[in-house]
Structure 1
Amino acid sequence: MSRSVRTGALLLAALLTGAAGGCSGGGGDSSRADTSAGQKLDWKSCPAPSDSEDASTGRAPGQSWECATLHAPLDYGHPKGDTIGIALIRAKATDPDHRIGSLLFNFGGPGGSGITTLPAFAEDYRNLRTRYDLVSFDPRGVGRSDGVKCLGDKELDSYYAADSTPDDAGERRALMDRVKKYAAACEKNSGKVLAHVGTSNAARDMDLMREALGDDKLHYFGISYGTELGGVYAHLFPKKVGRALLDGVVDPTHDPVQGALGQAKGFQLALGNYLRACAGSHDNCPTEQQIQRLLGRLDRRPAPAADGRTLTESLASGGIAQSLYSKDFWDYLTEGVEDAENGDGKILLALADSMNGRDKDGAYSSLQSSLNAVTCADFKQRYTAEDIAGKVGEFRAASPVFGDFMAWSLTQCTGWPVPGEWKTPDVSAGGAAPMLVVGNTGDPATPYAGARKMARRLGEGVGVELTYKGEGHGAYNSGDACVKRTVDAYLLDGTVPKNGTVCS
């Protein structure tokens, strides 16, 4: 679940308010094309989004969006072989006389689409646009860049609704069978790209992007998983790092078990923060025990929801987790739990759908299939049911609400058809320019401790830590004036804050 709140907010807005219309990006082209650093990007007006892409983009007034396709080798080990098209989107700087260059955004996931996310939230980056061309992209294997396809929409409805917290040996076997069938479907439908969608290849694409954009240095804004991608880029190309912000930081020292356990603790912390805040301002707030009992009931008997669908325990767990990515979602959680206890699962189901990348018409984006594909191309570890069953107690102690859910999420790479690259990513970047690393003390998805670990792994004089004492996933878009002022001074003026600066 390590993904940016920006992507979930797009889908949630569409699901709960019926938003529609907008701008999207250029497509993935796998034909033989010029993949050199000197290739010319053919910028054109952006096409409309497809049914499986979020439809709430392009809403910031006064924006003019252009799209292009960067051509890259599918396999950097065989640069003259097949190519892959990387979909790009940009809005040019509003003060071209003082333009610094391009500012490249990755909004997390892995699996989040920059093509849809950047236009929708461009107003948040208005100050940065004065001196930068705002640029984002669908990483390889995501969205319009040969997005990974596994199951069909109806099959995905069943897959996400199925029991993901097995209580006995039979349910474990059923879970493992589903996971292996999912992996086989990914291989059948996207086998050509699965071995090449890892983070190292995405980082190489970013350096090719930098050159094609005409920038000597890569100026970068990475959120959530985008911080890991930024760290890997800095390791591979330390001398090419310009001004780089890492916000909502993934802990680069964690393997999948440690990462999932950290998230279990992070979501439990965020749930407690929500419950305390809710109790101080509302009279219909749930307790943690009520939420646990609700999930137990849904495991036995799902609740009716929209369009003939039902809210299962798995979907409710995902919906509750989704609501903790931002304080903006907390009221939905309060209403959703109350409604579900009264037999109406619509709100929690909408939250779960936003987590899973399902739009109001039942079409899924590549969000979760891409997340799986990138994660499994990155990490070597593969876990059996027995491995996970032996760890459930530790996860449950870390989070009575999310522990089982997070422990069994470790099945995601079981039976995956391609091997992973590393046990943990290398982000050491000696010789790179200072990179600003922002940690949020209340972050559920990327717990605060990861920011310090990232800053240290980047290296002395490279990782500069900024702390935000707040809630939600990430800090820059939280509305905190101190964070925004400090980050803007760094990105726009090159002012590096003192290491350990705190905003509260």
Structure 2
Amino acid sequence: MRHVLAAATLAVSATACVSTATPDTEPKGVVVDPISWGPCTDIVRPDGEPPARQEPGVRCGKLTVPLDYDNPDLGTIDLALIKIAATDQSRRLGSLVFNFGGPGGSGVDTLAQAAKMFDTLRTRYDLVSFDPRGVDRSSGVRCGSNADMDAYVELNTLPPTQKTREAGRAANQRFAELCKRDASRLLPYIGTGNTARDMDRLRAALGDAKLNYLGMSYGTQLGAVYATKYPNKVGRVVLDAPLDPSVTFRQRTLAQTRGFQQAYESFLKDCVKEGCELGDTVKAADANVMRLMYKLVDKPLRVGNRRLTQGLASTGLAAALYSEGAWPFLETALAQADKGRGDALIYLADSYTGRSKDGTYTTQMSSFPAITCVDSAERPDEGELTRTWKEAIKISPLFGSEGAGGICTSWPVAGNNEARKVNAKGSAPILVVGGKGDPATPYQWAPSLTRQLGNATLLTYEGQGHGSYSSGNKCIQSMVNSFLLKGKVPNQDVACAAA
């Protein structure tokens, strides 16, 4: 199950806007500090435990960058890095930089966990990733205590009533206040625009003339912003499970609610087809799942010194929908919870929220809003929040109640639209990969981002799950590998069927 969740984290959540900004150029006179590589001492596995041993060729380091590129006098922050050396150094092409999504996911931990998946690419690339600014080891944003985070993620989202929604709004307001109290120095500088600048410093420090890059989920927005700022520095870039940066809050909420509901229905159909513990028909299985969720609203299950609330159960369910490989485990987890055992669903929820066995959290749940809210100037008012919520719960009471929280309305710093406007015309060709059954980044965002970039080719995966390369589909992996290793761009409108 750890390996399934490691693959799923290559995910733990769009009319085209054309940028009129002048692309950034490498500042004259700026000396990029060399990276000092050494042993990795704090890598963790998906279950929160440290690895048994350090694999040969894996090194960690740090890169110092300005907190504010426009005002260097404000000081610097250190970015945590990981590098896994190419196995065929005589044919090495350079570095391949990864961002696995979030926003707010640790690139250091995820690459260490999932490196085997990229063995083919590793033959000729040093695999490199980093914790972006505001994430974990890179001055990670933390809001409140572990107990505060427990209370926040345990909050119920059912029933879909105004009272439940108001409780969610109050929790968001409290969370935003904690972030202001604990991370006010960092919050204005956490956005994707600055992370793209960091990534160009990383490219230079690695000694690469061009950036070769594989971005997944949020990593596609980061890659698109980088290509917009530095079109002449783009090497071979793949954007898998793409976000559409131009969507509004309402559009994003409704699309993702629909995507998770469709993935949930696909899970139920597959479950029934294979002989389902949850029910003999899709309708019966759905009714039993919803009955469980409502039971947990009033009677959470004890799991050690914790409790499985409906909020945590829904989070665990959603986490497993990111990867089709996790569906059998999800079936078992739901069936066990119905019989009074909630440990499997809590395990799934913890994999999403970044909670370790000792009760500590990664910065995932804090870094996500810190980055998301800086990346948009949109601050929906109460009328827009209410209309969006009502539309979302019509699509899915289970997932719609979660998606319309609007935490950015309460966020303590203003956002800007720098990361919502992309146009990479003039760069080298970019490969966009979209999945038809992706719950978190619905497929329609893939052709939309392709159009906005202006020089990209779309590769379509007909299967399920968030992220096409991580699905293990041989057709997708072959085309992506061929592009990254040989520079071979697939034909337009090419698609790969599910295995």
TM-score normalised by structure 2 residue count: 0.89
**2:94 equivalent in structure 1:** 101
Letter in 2 for 1:55: E
Q: What secondary structure, in the 3-state scheme, does the structure 1 residue paired with 2:72 have?
A: coil
Letter in 1 for 2:322: Y
Task: Map 1:342-491; keep pairs closer than 5 Å.
Answer: 342-408=339-405, 410=406, 412-422=407-417, 425-459=420-454, 462-491=455-484
**2:252 equivalent in structure 1:** 259
Report if the CA contact (8 A) 1:53-1:143 is conserved.
Answer: no
CA distance in 1, matches of 2:123, 2:33: 27
CA distance in 1, matches of 2:110, 2:377: 30
Aligned length: 473
Letter in 2 for 1:288: D
Cα 1:139/1:450, change in 2 over 3 Å: same
Task: Tell me which of 288, 291, 294 is aligned to 1:290.
Answer: 288
Report if the CA contact (8 A) 1:8-1:354 is conserved.
Answer: no
Report if the CA contact (8 A) 1:252-1:425 is conserved.
Answer: yes
Task: Kindly provide the CA deviation profile for residues 109-153 of structure 1, in whole angstroms up to 9, marking residues without a partner as x.
Answer: 001101111111111111111111110000000010000010211
**2:232 equivalent in structure 1:** 239
Q: CA deviation at 1:93?
A: 1.4
CA distance in 1, matches of 2:205, 2:9: 31
Unaligned runs of 5+ in 2: 13-28, 280-284
TM-score normalised by structure 1 residue count: 0.89
CA distance in 1, matches of 2:463, 2:8: 19
Q: What secondary structure, in the 3-state scheme, does the structure 2 residue paired with 1:468 have?
A: strand
Q: Which range moved further: 141-150 or 166-175?
A: 166-175
Cα 1:218/1:57, change in 2 over 3 Å: farther
Q: CA deviation at 1:243?
A: 0.1
Cα 1:103/1:465, change in 2 over 3 Å: same
Calculate percent identity across the aligned residue pairs.
41
Q: What secondary structure, in the 3-state scheme, does the structure 1 residue paired with 2:432 have?
A: strand
Unaligned runs of 5+ in 1: 13-34
Task: Map 1:310-321; keep pairs closer than 5 Å.
Answer: 310-321=307-318
Q: CA deviation at 1:89?
A: 0.7
Q: CA deviation at 1:80?
A: 3.8
Q: CA deviation at 1:381?
A: 2.1
CA distance in 1, matches of 2:11, 2:226: 29
Q: What secondary structure, in the 3-state scheme, does the structure 2 residue paired with 1:264 have?
A: helix
Report if the CA contact (8 A) 2:37-2:60 is conserved.
Answer: yes
Letter in 1 for 2:442: P
Report if the CA contact (8 A) 1:11-1:359 is conserved.
Answer: no
Task: Map 1:143-154; keep pairs closer than 5 Å.
Answer: 143-154=136-147
Q: What secondary structure, in the 3-state scheme, does the structure 2 residue paired with 1:414 have?
A: helix
Letter in 2 for 1:229: L
CA distance in 2, matches of 1:471, 1:217: 33
Task: Tell me which of 18, 39, 43 is aligned to 1:45.
Answer: 39
Cα 1:37/1:254, change in 2 over 3 Å: farther
**1:23 equivalent in structure 2:** none
CA distance in 2, matches of 1:65, 1:196: 30
Report if the CA contact (8 A) 2:10-2:470 is conserved.
Answer: no
Cα 1:163/1:225, change in 2 over 3 Å: same
**1:28 equivalent in structure 2:** none
Q: What secondary structure, in the 3-state scheme, does the structure 2 residue paired with 1:391 have?
A: helix
Q: What secondary structure, in the 3-state scheme, does the structure 2 residue paired with 1:121 have?
A: helix
Report whether the alignment pairs 1:114 with 2:107: yes
Task: Map 1:327-342; keep pairs closer than 5 Å.
Answer: 327-342=324-339
Cα 1:404/1:170, change in 2 over 3 Å: closer
Higher RCO structure, 1 or 2 (CA under 8 Å, sep 6+): 2
Cα 1:6/1:259, change in 2 over 3 Å: farther
**2:67 equivalent in structure 1:** 74
Q: Which range moved further: 201-210 or 177-186?
A: 177-186
Cα 1:345/1:446, change in 2 over 3 Å: same
CA distance in 2, matches of 1:284, 1:362: 31
Cα 1:316/1:50, change in 2 over 3 Å: closer
Report if the CA contact (8 A) 2:212-2:235 is conserved.
Answer: yes
**1:308 equivalent in structure 2:** 305
Cα 1:189/1:402, change in 2 over 3 Å: same
